[in-house]
Amino acid sequence: MKRKFLIVLNIVLLIILILELVVILLKLRQNLQQQTDTPQKDEKLQSPTPSLTPSTSILPPEVAPYLPWRVVDSNDRESIQNSNKDTLLYTRFGNPIQNINIAGKEWISTIEFNSDAERDKSQDFRDYYEKLLDKNGWGYDIKIDQTKTIKGVAADGPVGGIHGQLKTVGSSIQIVVFDYSIRSFVESKEFISPISCPCKYEYKVFISDPIPLAEVLKNYK
């Protein structure tokens, strides 16, 4: 009698175990079904907007890989740091703020275009940067007080242009400069309008390190 009772008890326990396993499997199936039914977001859309505070945050090669970028230093005669070091920051009256040590990173791209379509595509990178900078609090000028406003370089001409955007970073400021020139006209010293390709363009992007605001204001005249 005792033996029969043990057999029945084991059968009951086995049935209970099987039922628990069935419940677990049903729950797993339900969870998998919910994950399958939920639309997955594009990973590219989930990528966070890069922080633009460090000088390494916005790299031209990542945005415009179709341009042959090369890194240059401040000693390169073609660099913005070398040729425009005293004309990157301006007062509200348009006077350059000089004698400031502006270091950072810079890229240059020189390329020949066979058609106008190729050239037009290459200019997308500047539009991309301007929208990204604007969204992250950069601007063409920074108002310090009622009498002082710091502006970035801004100039356009028939064979090129240069523009800078600014942002305060604590007690410092940064500047990002975009520069382009039609090298084929600069080298030949002849300007032909309207501009058509084949032609050679040069693009530059300079991203400064944080510049102490006290140093800038000391030279504000």
pLDDT tens digits, 166-203: 998 889 999 999 888 887 766 666 666 677 788 888 88
Using an 8 Å Cβ cutoff, are 76 and 85 in contact? no
Quick one: pLDDT band at residue 90, thresholds 50, 70, 90? very high
pLDDT higher than threshold 60 for residue 50: no
Using an 8 Å Cβ cutoff, are 187 and 112 in contact? no
pLDDT higher than threshold 90 for residue 63: no
Question: Torsion angle of alpha carbons 63, 67, 71, 76, nearest 10°?
Answer: -130
Mean of pLDDT values over 97-116: 87
pTM of the model: 0.67
The C-alpha atoms of residue 19 and residue 28 are separated, in whole angstroms, by 14
Quick one: pLDDT band at residue 25, thresholds 50, 70, 90? low
pLDDT digits (tens, 9 = 90+) for 210-219: 999 999 999 9
Mean of pLDDT values over 146-156: 91
Q: What is the reported pLDDT for 150?
A: 95
Judge residue 106's burial from the number of C-beta atoms within 10 Å of its C-beta, 0-12 exposed, 13-18 middle, 19 or more buried.
buried
Lowest mean pLDDT among 52-56, 138-142, 189-193, 207-211: 52-56
Quick one: pLDDT band at residue 37, thresholds 50, 70, 90? very low
Q: What is the reported pLDDT for 52?
A: 40
